[in-house]
Amino acid sequence: DTAVSQTPKYLVTQMGNDKSIKCEQNLGHDTMYWYKQDSKKFLKIMFSYNNKELIINETVPNRFSPKSPDKAHLNLHINSLELGDSAVYFCASSHRGRTEAFFGQGTRLTVV
């Protein structure tokens, strides 16, 4: 049973396109996150949702819009993709940051 699952695993797209990455967790956690891992492998938080409410919104371009239809799902929509958006995007979940965080396998986004 996959605890945190993301789709797709790989995404190659052209500049200017709009794309979405989906994430689902079956751990019963109330908080979900999106992290970005850049080309230097540095992981940084982008967004956090608790019970469908946005609680962390780092300085991310507004082309990135997270959506949480319920507390088990957190999707990431990216408009007008740019070359610099190429990275690995990880979804994660925990209980309000008070318990172990579990990560998905990542989505490798390549913008060409």
Partner 1 sequence: KQEVTQIPAALSVPEGENLVLNCSFTDSAIYNLQWFRQDPGKGLTSLLLIQSSQREQTSGRLNASLDKSSGRSTLYIAASQPGDSATYLCAADQGGSEKLVFGKGTKLTVNP
Q: Which residues bind partner 1 (CB under 8 A)?
A: 31, 33, 35, 40-45, 48, 50, 55-56, 90, 92, 94, 96-106, 108
Alpha carbons within 13 A on the beta-carbon side of 7 = 4
Nearest distance in Å: CB 92, partner 1 = 8
Q: Which residue's CB is nearer to partner 1, number 45 or number 60?
A: 45
Distances (CA, A) of 31 to 12, 56, 80, 93, 99: 28, 11, 28, 6, 10
Q: Which residue's CB is nearer to partner 1, number 80 or number 96?
A: 96
Query: Looking up tokens 């992981």, which residue turns up?
Result: 43
Q: Which residue's CB is nearer to partner 1, number 66 or number 104?
A: 104
Nearest distance in Å: CB 75, partner 1 = 18
Q: Which residue's CB is nearer to partner 1, number 51 or number 79?
A: 51
Of residues 70, 74, 72, the one with CA closest to residue 89: 74
Nearest distance in Å: CB 80, partner 1 = 27
Nearest distance in Å: CB 45, partner 1 = 5
**The three-state (H, E, C) secondary structure of 21-36, written as one string:** EEEEECCCCCEEEEEE
CA distance 88 to 32: 17
